Structure 1
Amino acid sequence: VEPRVMGGQDSQVGRFLWQVSLWAEGRGMTCGGSIILKNWILTAAHCTAAKPRASSWTAYVGMSALSLKDNSPAQKREISQIIQNSLYDDITYDYDVSLMKLKSDLVFNDYVQPICLPPPNHVFPSGMPCYVSGWGELDDSGNSPHPDVLQHAQIDIIGNETCSRPDWLQNLLTSRMLCAGKIEGKKDACQGDSGGPLSCYVPDEGVWMLAGSVSWGIGCGQPKLPGVYARMTFFTEWIWRSIAQNDQSVV
């Protein structure tokens, strides 16, 4: 199981305004994340489990290329608190979500915006086109460099009934997980994308919603082995409850 954009393309400035690049002390660019409020980021529990100290992490937002992370309009923030889902299982990757509180608020502008969390009853139908984005490896050789420019790939939501078939991911899925990819493979998340967004444009609402965050996969871009994401509709209530308990500014 890889801790996990393959088959993607460069993202223009201002495309995925909620994309976060998370850097861990001594490890460089390690994971992705999504902006959900001006001072809160969502990422994967398997990222924070490996580096549980908040002071070990730095978040960069507002840039399309890693080489621009120290220049305007990019914004850099230290992390003051990590809330890792207490039910996270480091063997099955179940409940693979963590929240990071920023030491100071982000400035929302043309380059930095939050993504909407879906209501718990929202359905992202099978076949719905969505986008995975990140600075993860471009293939699963284990030695491809991280791209400088943010990559994204258009992939489709795949229902759990399909994804858990015997010749797919079998019994590895839980109801906290969501599959997305292409049946033929080729487009997928890969190492270094972990915790980053699976973003879906919902025409009825006129907004982008976070369907999932990159969790795990078997290899990258293999046929019938789509990427697996933490299913956001399951976690929306946990997210808002956790934030309310730890942030007086959010009521």
Structure 2
Amino acid sequence: MESTVCFFKKNNTSIWYLFLLLIGLKCGIRSLDLEDQEDNWNPEIFSRIIGGQTSVPGGQPWQVSIKLGRSHFCGGSLIYDNAVVTAAHCVVDLDLKLVKNLIVTVGEYDLRSMDEEEQNIPVSKIIVHPAFKRFGYIDSDIALLYLKDRVKYGAEVQPICLPHKEDLFEAGTLCVVSGWGKVTEDGSVSDVLQEVELPIIDDKTCNELLETLNLPSIQNNMLCAGFPDGGRDACQGDSGGPLACRRASGIWTLVGITSWGIGCGKGWQTDKTRSSRRGSPGVFSKVDKLLDFIVQNIITGENFF
């Protein structure tokens, strides 16, 4: 296996997909989609988790809850049966004692009850992107969590696909953000998984908006999503969770990781004279720009094989 690891490290990250093909891993498939007999998917089955709606069991089978003990504090995405992608800011400041109490729950739907396929698995190792900084501008906001045990896949537990570098999700593409975060900016978190559709915003437009709020421009490994009039957004507690976009083939892809934003569900075109009343688009870590970090650490991860 050592020679295999060396082979992967020296080649392009597209080799990752060849490897997954060889071991028979399927990703980005929901049982709900398999049950749909129509040729074309219907975006109206999703909500439009501020301004969103309650998901359904298995609606986001790659969504995980990251917990300290029994308390949810961040989301994440299952990309393999013992590996989860989340935001670096969720875990970077955890000391060794807290890491020992870190749990990833897959198959989670209702935080108040034990779900049918729910599995609670301790985290064995955390790898934070080396370019991420605890203070200042949030960049390279991504981390990998290795699990002590492999999850059991089912209708409500499936991995999401990583993007190909050639994948193109243009501005205006509606993608799904999910999580158990606050349902209003000043409100409480949701016990039941929520989801909302947000359109991708092109970098130029997003940077112009951030400039009006005296915020720095997004970096190459960030992307923005949201509606100008607000009302629909991610919020506290959703961090680390997926921005999932669907390829033309029907396969769901992890395009972004919920990272940061100003306000929750606030518009940025209203009351331009008072920036305190305005929010920013949601900013997400752009996964296709961070593939090298993911692939290198997955392939060489101590628990992978």
TM-score, with structure 1 as normaliser:
0.91
**1-structure distance, mates of 2:257, 2:100:** 22
**1-structure distance, mates of 2:230, 2:105:** 30
**2-structure distance, mates of 1:30, 1:226:** 22
Contact 1:23 1:59 in 2 (8 A): yes
- Please say if 1:187 is aligned against 2:232: yes
**CA root-mean-square deviation:** 1.6
Give the secondary-structure state (helix, strand or coil) at the position aligned to 2:123.
strand
- Please say if 1:10 is aligned against 2:65: no
Match of 2:169 among 118, 124, 135: 124
| Deviation (angstroms), 1:248 | 5.9
Deviation >6 Å, runs of 4+: none
Structure 1: stretches of 5+ with no match in the other structure: none
| Deviation (angstroms), 1:169 | 7.1
Q: Which has the higher contact order (CA 8 A, sep 6+)?
A: 1
**Percent of counterpart pairs with the same letter?**
37
Partner of 2:194: 151
Aligned length: 241
Matched ranges for 1:168-247 at <5 A:
171-203=216-248, 205-224=249-268, 225-247=280-302
- Please say if 1:83 is aligned against 2:127: yes
Structure 2: stretches of 5+ with no match in the other structure: 1-48, 269-279
Q: Which has the higher strand share?
A: 1
Give the secondary-structure state (helix, strand or coil) at the position aligned to 1:60.
strand
Q: How big is each residue's C-alpha offset from its partner over 1:45-100, in whole Å with a ceiling of 9 and x where there is no partner? A: 000113153323101111321112x3432111000000000110232110000000
Give the secondary-structure state (helix, strand or coil) at the position aligned to 1:247.
coil
Q: Which has the higher helix share?
A: 2
Q: 1:96 to 1:249 in 2, by over 3 A?
A: closer
Rg (Cα) greater in structure: 2
**1-structure distance, mates of 2:222, 2:213:** 14
Q: How big is each residue's C-alpha offset from its partner over 1:102-137, in whole Å with a ceiling of 9 and x where there is no partner? A: 000000111100000001232211000001000001
Matched ranges for 1:51-130 at <5 A:
51-53=94-96, 54-68=99-113, 70-90=114-134, 91-130=136-175
TM-score, with structure 2 as normaliser:
0.75
Partner of 2:87: 44
